[in-house]
Structure 1
Amino acid sequence: MKLFIVAALLIVAVQGDYVLKTLDDLQTARKECILENKVPQELVAEYQKRIFKEEGVTPCYIRCIFTRLGLFDEKTGFITENYLKQLGRGDTVKDGVVGCYDNTGTDTCLWAYRAFTCFTKQGFLPEGY
């Protein structure tokens, strides 16, 4: 029983230790996700113009970035507490952020992409994203 309690406390401690990501972290994640998802150069050019169409590798590229930044889990979706910390607006926007989640179906790339488009429309993207 003691081992279980210690393990549970470690899990909570790890989850509570989210470290805010910098713009350098975001740039690194973008570069790694471009390579990992084999994003064609014409899509990279669109991304640089803030154009993210729901086609090709774009949804998986979006998921990759959020995952690398510790904001998305491929089994459960967005990690709300981490996202709110990164957003820097506290719980005041929690309902709106959670309202952007659409985890229907099994395609986690689409989960991340749909939330990203909602975050964009609602102004729930951290600065620099």
Structure 2
Amino acid sequence: MKFFLALLSLIFAVVLADEHDHAAHSDYVVKTNADLLRYRDECVSKLSIPADLVEKYKQWNFPDDEKTPCYLKCILEKFGLYDEEKGFDVHKIHHQLDGDKVDHSDATHGAIENCAKEAAAAGDDACVRAYRGFSCFLKDNIQLVQAGVDKGSK
């Protein structure tokens, strides 16, 4: 009986924490293509990204080179989707992709979570973690990512 009560208390605490966590993300403002362009300019300037790489980024091509991982980290941080200490914010990413009517129990959410976990296991370098997580999700969901930025523009 004590075990059952302890288990029930734990489940209740997790549910409350999840609801509180979700509430903190409900005020996320979906970013637009204009935001992306501004953030791109800021990150390119800050990191001295060469023009040839910028052209690749505009085509949604993110090579695994010396500059790109930190560029993506910069962009994701400006979007509010990634934090060097905490990693990816799965709920905010899902909001960016699907808007305010997001269903955090769907397959997209699961895919974001899986890529966030893969990124967290990528080592100590925050740029590498950002790159790995973004690349993981982009690999199978590029149209959704592109639409997530375009959606906020309309």
Residue 122 of structure 1, CA deviation: 2.0
Identity over aligned residues, as a percent?
34
Partner residue in 2 for 1:109: 127
**1:100 pairs with one of 115, 131, 149:** 115
Q: Does 1:68 align with 2:82?
A: no
Residue 45 of structure 1, CA deviation: 2.0
Partner residue in 2 for 1:26: 36
**Whole-angstrom CA distance in 1 between matches of 2:113 and 2:146:** 15
TM-score by length of 2: 0.69
Residue 33 of structure 1, CA deviation: 0.7
**Whole-angstrom CA distance in 1 between matches of 2:138 and 2:126:** 18
Choose between structure 1 and 2: higher helix proportion: 2
Partner residue in 1 for 2:138: 120
Partner residue in 1 for 2:9: none
Q: Would you say the 8 A contact 1:86–1:126 is kept in 2?
A: no
Residue 103 of structure 1, CA deviation: 1.3
Q: Which has the higher contact order (CA 8 A, sep 6+)?
A: 2
Partner residue in 2 for 1:52: 62
Amino acid corresponding to residue 50 of structure 2 in structure 1: P
Amino acid corresponding to residue 30 of structure 1 in structure 2: R
Unpaired runs of at least 5, structure 2: 1-19
**Whole-angstrom CA distance in 2 between matches of 1:112 and 1:84:** 16
Larger Rg belongs to: 2
Q: Does 1:80 align with 2:95?
A: no
TM-score by length of 1: 0.81
Residue 126 of structure 1, CA deviation: 4.8
SS at match of 2:120: coil
**Whole-angstrom CA distance in 2 between matches of 1:19 and 1:75:** 22
SS at match of 1:52: coil
Amino acid corresponding to residue 103 of structure 1 in structure 2: A
Moved beyond 6 Å, runs of 4+: none
**Whole-angstrom CA distance in 2 between matches of 1:96 and 1:15:** 18
**Whole-angstrom CA distance in 1 between matches of 2:66 and 2:138:** 20
**1:90 pairs with one of 95, 103, 122:** 103
Number of equivalenced pairs: 119
Of 18-27 and 87-96, the range deviating more from structure 2:
87-96
